[in-house]
Amino acid sequence: MKENGIKQRVAEVLRFKKINVNRASKILSIPQRTLNRQVNEDGNISMDLLYAMLDTFTDISPLWLLLGEGEMLNSQPEVTHKVPYYNDLPVSAGFKDVVDAGREAPSSYISLPGKSADFYFPVSGTSMEPEINDGDIVGVKRVDRSEGIVHGDVYMLVTNDNRMIKRCYHDNNDPGLIWCVSPNYPSFPIHKNDVCALFKVVNRIETF
């Protein structure tokens, strides 16, 4: 478990509320075995658990619970926006999965005060670890391709064959190429014309 990871924050909320897993399972309407596996064992924290906690414990800050930012308790109301989350459309942080990009209905919605993502997706693959881990959820904001790529920033690139997260760099010799770089996968170039859609990664939710 990471020192300041989401699993630790979930456990901290339960300690703060002075409830054990058995009691929490009844309050949150989540099976005790499922909750115990996520909180006390090696299971990843699910979005269903996070939503249930935020819906039930309204004094808990969504920004703190999901991202570890700010204080645990809400200090004052903040403007939140419901952003579509596509649980069934994993973004490959490598080339592990190719998914159907035609799905339109989101699995659910994520609300984070002050965060300007357009969509949220789960990450599949390990090539961007430790910056972005397998199973994390990333918030992305659509970028007009005419605006171009900021040299060295992290993007989700959608092509006819894949959707992937990479740190992107301009080619020094060919303005039509983008270099896709990640810590655990060989760098490779992609032609700008092959990019169907471009999204900048604006935040990340750790799920374990």
Query: Phi first, then psi: what are they for 136, rounded to 5°?
Result: -65, 165
CB 122 within 8 A of CB 97: no
Share of the chain above pLDDT 90, in %: 27
- Note the pLDDT tens digit of each residue in 115-148: 678 888 889 888 999 889 988 899 898 887 656 7
Mean pLDDT (the chain, rounded): 83
- CB within 8 Å of 156: residues ≥ 6 apart: 91, 121, 138, 140, 163, 164, 165, 198, 199, 200, 201
Query: What is the domain count for the chain?
Result: 2
Q: How far apart are CA 189 and CA 128, in angstroms?
A: 16
Q: Domain check: are 53 and 126 in the same one? A: no
Q: Domain check: are 196 and 96 in the same one? A: yes
Q: How far apart are CA 18 and CA 36, in angstroms?
A: 16
CB atoms within 10 A of CB 188: 12
Record the pTM: 0.66
Statement: residue 208 has pLDDT above 70: no
The confidence band for 48, taking pLDDT boundaries of 50, 70 and 90, is: confident
The confidence band for 101, taking pLDDT boundaries of 50, 70 and 90, is: very low
- CATH code for the domain of 49: 1.10.260
Give the pLDDT score at 183.
92
- CATH code for the domain of 164: 2.10.109.10
